[in-house]
Amino acid sequence: MGYTLKQIVKQNSHSRIFKNLAAFGRAINRFYENRNHDLYSNGEETIIKKIAKLNPKTIFDVGANVGKYAKVLRKECTDSKIYCFEPVESTFNILKKNIEALKNIEAVNKGFYKENCSMQINLFESDTHSTIYELENITKKAVKTAEISLIKGDDFMAENNIDKIDFLKLDVEGAEFDAIEGFQIALKNKRIRAIQFEYGYINIRTKKLLIDFYEYLETFGYKTGKIFPKKVEFRKYNFLEEDFLGPNFIAVSKDDTEIIKLLEKK
């Protein structure tokens, strides 16, 4: 029986040479799809600079950690009121110290969730790395837990007389979808202009796929795009993008042509 070239290649697809080619291909794909968590080179700083051109009045930095991102926000968005949310007390204390000299910026010892509650959060070797989700078998095992206070975004806005959020940044180690669900009233009334959220390997554990973000935000008239170093690509959902590479996506109202054009431009 004769074999075609295609069949011969397939029969030997698990050879060392193809294994090396596959590894090289994965590396190229990670590079192309921007698997990069450095805010100065992955496009996050670029987003902040573009948002600054719109003269934002109110910014939420959710998952502020020790304040690195907040400092960039303060530098670029000079006139904005910035709220930094960090629920882990030990990390929150570092955050307060790091931003105490910055004007018009407020640290809040709470996190966002789909309901108001207290919850145990997993802490890792560094207290600045934490998540409410169990990550064993995905990354390192947590070394301890701590109790945190969580609030719905809609309730925080109402309690603090905040009518609109110009930029909502979410970096909450897998709880991004939970946090977004707490802003239903604000989303329904288009009171959040732009929402940046992380998506990555933690979503394997949370069971919230990229399609869930796309479809949920779509119900409120928002379109979603992926953040690259110099621009945002607003592209339709494709299951091939369920790669858990991340790092960040952004959603804006479909009708907000001003911000869409600004974010798409290199």
Instruction: Give tens-digit pLDDT for 28-43.
Output: 888 878 888 889 999 9
More reliable by pLDDT, 144 or 14: 144
| 23 & 53 share domain | no
> Domain check: are 48 and 7 in the same one?
no
Cα end-to-end distance, the chain, whole Å: 56
Q: What does the pLDDT read at residue 22?
A: 75
For the stretch 195-211, pLDDT in tens is 999 998 889 889 999 99
Same domain, 162 and 198: yes
Average pLDDT, the chain: 91
- The structural domain count of the chain equals 2
Q: Which of 211, 215, 214, 212 is nearest to 224 (CA)?
A: 214
pLDDT of residue 154: 98
Residue with tokens 């119900």: 219
Its domain, for residue 10, covers: 1-32
pLDDT digits (tens, 9 = 90+) for 3-26: 777 776 677 777 887 788 778 888
At residue 137, the pLDDT reads: 63
Most confident region among 119-123, 136-140, 175-179, 204-208 by mean pLDDT: 175-179
Residues 6 and 124 in one domain: no
Do 8 and 60 lie in one domain? The reply is: no
Q: Which residues contact 155 (CB under 8 A, 6 or more apart)?
A: 116, 182
Both 57 and 9 in one domain: the answer is: no
Instruction: List the CATH number of the domain containing 103.
Output: 3.40.50.150
Please enumerate in sequence order all residues whose Cβ is within 8 A of that of 152, keeping only pairs 6 or more positions apart, or say none.
112, 113, 114, 115, 116, 182, 183
Residues 23 and 123 both lie in one domain: no
Domain co-membership, 18 together with 45: no
**pLDDT classification of 127: cutoffs 50, 70, 90:** low
The length of the chain in residues reads 266
**More confident site: 169 or 132:** 169
Question: Averaged over 63-90, what is the pLDDT?
Answer: 96
Q: In the predicted model, is pLDDT for residue 258 greater than 60?
A: yes
Shared-domain flag, residues 71 and 96 = yes
**pLDDT confidence of residue 118:** 97
Mean pLDDT of 162-174: 95
What's the pLDDT score for residue 135? Answer: 72
At 233, is the pLDDT very low, low, confident or very high (cuts 50, 70, 90)? very high
Residues 139, 117 contacting (CB under 8 angstroms): no
Closest to 67 measured CA to CA, from 89, 84, 46: 84
Q: Do 92 and 18 fall into the same domain?
A: no
Residue 190 CB contacts under 8 Å (≥ 6 apart), including other chains = 220, 221, 253
